[in-house]
Amino acid sequence: MRRSEFLRAVDDEFGTRATALTHDLVLARLNRTAQEALDDGIPPREIWLALCEETDVPAERRYGVGRLEPRKR
């Protein structure tokens, strides 16, 4: 997962709460906020999974999100 995919996944899942969650919610597994974790170089996939765990996102919405749909030829 790339940083852009992480940000897209957070926006898709949390909508208007996305910025507040990434900047204010301390993720227990990482002992920092999602934004701090990104700034510290922690892989976005690890941050996404920690955020999902902390906010009880169902497992079926945790994987494969944030990716753009393939272009149609």
> Of all residues in the chain, what percent carry a pLDDT higher than 70?
86
Counting beta carbons within 10 angstroms of the beta carbon of residue 63, is it exposed (0 to 12), middle (13 to 18) or buried (19 or more)?
exposed
Instruction: Quickly list H helices, 15-65.
Output: 18-24, 34-39, 44-55
CA distances to 8, 35, 42, 62, 64 from 15, in Å: 10, 16, 23, 15, 18
Q: How confident is the model at residue 62 (pLDDT cuts 50, 70, 90)?
A: confident
The predicted structure's pLDDT at residue 21: 94
Total-model pTM: 0.84
Condensed to tens digits (0 to 9), the pLDDT of residues 5-33 reads 899 999 999 999 999 999 999 999 999 99
